[in-house]
Amino acid sequence: MSLGPVMLDVEGIELTQEDKELLQHPLVGGVILFTRNFDSVDQLEALVRDIHALREPRLLISVDHEGGRVQRFRDGFTAIPAMANFGHVYEHDKKKARSLANLCGWLMAIELRAVDIDFSFAPVLDLDYGISTVIGDRAFARDPSIVTELAHEFMNGMGDAGMAATGKHFPGHGAIAADSHIDIPVDNRSYNEIYAEDIVPFKRMIHHSMAAIMPAHVIYSEVDPLPAGFSKFWLQEVLRKRLNFQGVIFSDDLDMQGASVISEDYAERAKAALAAGCDMVLVCNNRPGAIQVLEGLGQYDDPVAHMRLARMHGRHPITRDKLHKNVRWRSAVDILNKYQDDPTLELDFDT
């Protein structure tokens, strides 16, 4: 059975019978975990093991674990700073900022890989215009060159840990105040304005072989009447053709208000996202909507998408016991603790 084009969530800290039945549906290809799925590291490891045991090839298991306010697991995991911290450090110490970004990308990823989670939806490539509260300190900086430089380091750290990176939210969510979780954001800038700044980190990270991208549920009204995640222009013309992106395109959550302009029917939302160019659609925190997608999507088979998705499986397996004996992990935790106690402190990244 190949990986299907739908990513779902699960109810709680262990699989219910309904979870198991849904996850074995041929249209399902992945699971996204949330804070409600976490009680302890041991429990999380068991949950991941149970999900992976359901299918062959194994379902992809993901999480939003960027750092800062978007970090789903806390107790037993290192607290990763919000990405804006590295942008602030960059203003006076570029080398230190790059080293911290790399270290945190690796630390975030290696701790997730130690419980066999395949990937985190990170890093954020949006620009911080000082307007968007939903983006805010999740962004590295306002300057697209700084965002790219620090995101590249963060991605390299993730890669060292065996985790593929997902840049979000294409072509850029930072220039508007509305939150696509609860609103229908509209960005009235021209294509040339967006291309000149917001797209720059995506373009450069594609050049650096970023594995996946998540588009925004934002309408760029001067370019296309549809949100980017449902737009053939943004996904096929710009992302695939002009930027030559060959990796995975994940939709943002189809339950978000920003997706509601497509249809009240979740299967229609999924069909629209896949037709626009997404390889996998996310349906989160809405079990009836998820069932609607699985029942209404019909037969779906995209061999190219299967190959792209297979590359999102985690690499370099490591146990928690081995991780906690790992000199690099101990050093990274020590450096990060020192930084968080005193951001001005000189840090030795060579230990």
Catalogue the active-site residues: 181, 252
Q: Residue 85's closest CA among 166, 154, 139? A: 139
DSSP code, position 189: -
Q: What is the DSSP letter of 82?
A: P
**Tokens standing for residue 336:** 């990060």
Distances (CA, A) of 304 to 245, 270, 301: 13, 18, 9
Crossing angle of helices 94-113 and 327-341, in 10° steps, is 130
- Count how many residues are written for the chain: 351
Burial of 299 (0-12, 13-18, 19+ CB in 10 A): exposed
DSSP string covering 242-304: IS---SEEEEEETTSGGGTTT-SSHHHHHHHHHHHT-SEEEE-S-HHHHHHHHHHS-----HH
- Write the DSSP symbol of residue 228: G
Those residues whose C-beta lies under 8 Å from the C-beta of residue 239, and which sit 6 or more positions away, are 170, 202, 213, 215, 245, 249, 277
Would you tell me how many other CB atoms lie within 10 Å of the CB of residue 98?
20
Q: Is 184 exposed, middle or buried (0-12, 13-18, 19+ CB in 10 A)?
A: middle
- Alpha carbon distance 115, 46 (integer Å): 9
Torsion of CA 138, 184, 33, 1, to 10 degrees: -120
